[in-house]
DNA sequence: TCATCACCGATA
DNA sequence: ATCGGTGATG
């Protein structure tokens, strides 16, 4: 379907720490077109996506090889409906970027470099488990843990060929339901899978949900009662939904807020972690102890949250996601394929830190001006005239190449 | 209400 | 020692 990458940047969105279950498969090199395929296993199908600048390619694979013709259209409609819901495609992200840029100079500087960063609307149950895993943890390990959990606790729905090696078939496992993870032995099993102290949290949370909200399924809906209950929090107030989430073991304020934002429709919620804290201190004049570390007290959490909401407004959670993805420029970090390719990892950790530091410099409130002769791009000229008129303008690295000398010169010419 | 600590595993 | 936290203590 026709869809601008300005509205959705798949590569970035699927790796920025929202969802941890997408397979990212490199495609055989071609002249042009998509370089990767992204796959996610749902309960009844595997969704496969590719992206070009103006097109989003989608298809779904099913277990049964030859469905009746009549099913095909129906299934396609379902997949498309799922895409719209999951990626919230009806929300105009470009318009949001515009709104934020008017209110916030900092965000304005990121807009052209980090386009298409949007909040997903995920399955709440999967979201709960994934983010219990996220405490004191990093994206690449969380990804491995979640994938390991699915592989261990749910049978493969189907297998699909690896695009870069079509004779190799990769199995796809759905996310297991609460009743499966509620079993008493899950705690120790997950521990052997490398979940550490989070293993017990997950089992306890699953058991709690099943005990309190049930595990029965409906005729036409494979999801369990507690999953439906969680989904029902979408139509509950933010405060009430948060209160419910905080009852789950392993879910504190930060994790609860992640779930509220990323699967329960609470677009104004800004999860505050130490990273966001640093962003707030650096760009938005929040106090941070000069000695380095600050304790994240509930009080401070509220202050930060309030501050960021006051800056970003109604869709603050979405704006936070852009800032987070921008700052987390470790998109080069964890490479494609989930299970296989352990070697690749060793090349990256060194670069990561450097990239980050470099990025931080780029984003300082007063960007460094590169001295020396400069060819003025059209963007730079536009920016220059905007500066002279006192208007907000694009200060992307390209634009910033405009030297100080040039700015002064142009200023004189106009006056 | 606030501060500290253990917890698990990876990395610098 | 630090990290994209939480729960249990004082």
Average pLDDT across chain A, whole number: 81
Which residue places its CA closest to the C1' of nucleotide B6? A197
State, as a whole number of angstroms, the distance between the CA of A136 and the C1' of B9: 9
Q: Could you say which residues of chain A have pLDDT below 70?
A: 288-293, 329-415
Q: How far is the CA of A126 from the C1' of B8 (A)?
A: 21
What are the pLDDT digits (tens) for A59-68?
Answer: 999 999 889 9
| Residue A376, pLDDT score | 33
Distance A76 CA to B8 C1' (A): 43
Q: Which nucleotide is nearest to A200 (CA to C1')?
A: B7
Protein CA at A141 to nucleotide C1' at B10, angstroms: 8
Find residues whose C-beta atom lies within 7 angstroms of strand C. Answer: A 16-17, 134-139, 197, 201, 246, 248-256, 258, 273-275, 292-293, 296, 324, 328
Q: At what angle do helices A316-327 and A253-263 cross, to 10 degrees?
A: 110
Tell which strand B nucleotides have any atom below 7 Å from a protein Cβ: 1-4, 7-12
The helix/strand/coil state of A41 is strand
pLDDT at A290: 52
Which nucleotide lies nearest residue A300, CA to C1'? B2
Q: CA A335, C1' C1: Å apart? A: 27
Round to whole Å and give the CA distance between A63 and A45.
7
Residue with smallest Cα–C1' gap to B11? A349
**CA A167, C1' C1: Å apart?**
46
Render the burial of A57-95: b for 16+ CB within 10 Å, e for the rest. Answer: ebebeeeeeeeeeeeeeeeeeebeebbeebbbbeeebee
How many Å apart are A344 CA and B10 C1'?
16
Using CB atoms within 10 Å of the CB of residue A185, give its burial: 0 to 12 exposed, 13 to 18 middle, 19+ buried.
exposed
Nucleotides of C under 7 A from a protein CB: 2-7
What is the per-residue pLDDT for A326?
84
Q: Could you tell me the distance in Å between the CA of residue A123 and the C1' of nucleotide B4?
A: 36
- CA atoms of A193 and A379, how far apart (whole Å): 51
- For residue A380, give Cα distances in angstroms to A45, A136, A198, A367, A377: 48, 42, 50, 14, 5
Nearest DNA or RNA nucleotide to A275 (CA to C1')? C4
Q: Which of the nucleotides lies closest to A258 (Cα–C1')?
A: C4
Residues of A catalogued as catalytic: 254
- What pLDDT score was predicted for residue A329? 61
Q: Give the span between the Cα atoms of A300 and A295, in whole angstroms.
A: 8
Alpha-carbon distance A354 to A144, whole Å?
A: 24
Entry pTM: 0.81
Q: Report protein residues in contact with nucleic acid strand B, where contact means CB under 7 Å.
A: A 136-138, 141, 191, 194, 196-197, 295, 297-299, 345, 349-350, 352-353
A139: the nucleotide nearest its CA (via C1') is C4
**What ranges make up the beta strands (E) of A96-252?**
158-162, 165-172
Closest nucleotide over all strands to A273 (CA to C1'): C4
Residue with nearest Cα to nucleotide B3 C1': A295
Sign of the four-CA dihedral A146, A262, A218, A78: negative
């Amino acid at each position: 379907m026709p869809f601008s990458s300005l509205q959705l940047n798949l590569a970035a969105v699927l790796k920025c720490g929202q969802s941890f279950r997408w397979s990212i498969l490199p495609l055989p090199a071609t002249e042009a077109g998509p370089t990767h395929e992204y796959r996610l296993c749902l309960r009844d199908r595997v969704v496969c996506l590719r992206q070009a600048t103006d097109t989003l390619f989608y298809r779904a694979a099913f277990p049964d090889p030859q469905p009746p013709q009549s099913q095909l259209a129906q299934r396609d409609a379902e997949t498309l409906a799922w895409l719209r819901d999951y990626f919230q495609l009806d929300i105009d992200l470009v318009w949001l970027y515009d709104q934020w840029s008017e209110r916030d100079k900092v965000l304005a500087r990121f807009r052209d470099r980090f386009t298409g960063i949007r909040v997903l609307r995920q399955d709440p149950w999967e979201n709960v488990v994934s983010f219990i895993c996220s405490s004191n943890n990093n994206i690449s390990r969380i990804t491995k843990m979640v994938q390991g959990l699915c592989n261990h606790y749910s049978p493969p729905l189907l297998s699909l060929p690896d695009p870069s090696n079509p004779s190799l078939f990769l199995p796809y496992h759905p996310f297991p339901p609460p009743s499966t993870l509620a079993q008493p032995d899950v705690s120790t099993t997950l521990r052997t899978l490398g979940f550490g102290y989070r293993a017990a949290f997950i089992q306890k949370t699953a058991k709690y949900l099943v005990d309190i909200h049930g595990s029965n399924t409906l005729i036409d809906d494979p999801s369990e009662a507690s999953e439906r209950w969680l989904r029902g929090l979408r139509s509950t107030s933010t405060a009430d939904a948060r209160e419910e989430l905080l009852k789950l073991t392993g879910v504190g304020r930060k994790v609860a807020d992640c779930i509220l934002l990323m699967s329960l429709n609470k677009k104004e919620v800004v999860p505050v972690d130490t990273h966001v804290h640093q962003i707030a201190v650096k760009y938005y004049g929040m106090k941070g102890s000069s000695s380095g570390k600050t304790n994240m007290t509930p009080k401070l959490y509220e202050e930060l949250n309030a501050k960021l909401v006051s800056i970003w407004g109604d869709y603050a959670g979405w704006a936070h996601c852009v800032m987070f993805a921008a700052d987390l420029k470790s998109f080069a970090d964890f490479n494609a394929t989930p299970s296989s390719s352990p070697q690749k990892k060793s090349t990256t950790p060194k670069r990561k830190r450097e990239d980050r530091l470099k990025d931080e410099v780029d984003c300082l409130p007063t960007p460094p001006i590169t001295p020396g002769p400069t060819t003025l791009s059209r963007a730079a000229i536009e920016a220059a005239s905007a500066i002279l008129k006192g208007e907000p303008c694009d200060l992307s690295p390209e634009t910033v190449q405009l030297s100080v000398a040039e700015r002064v010169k142009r200023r004189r010419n106009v006056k």
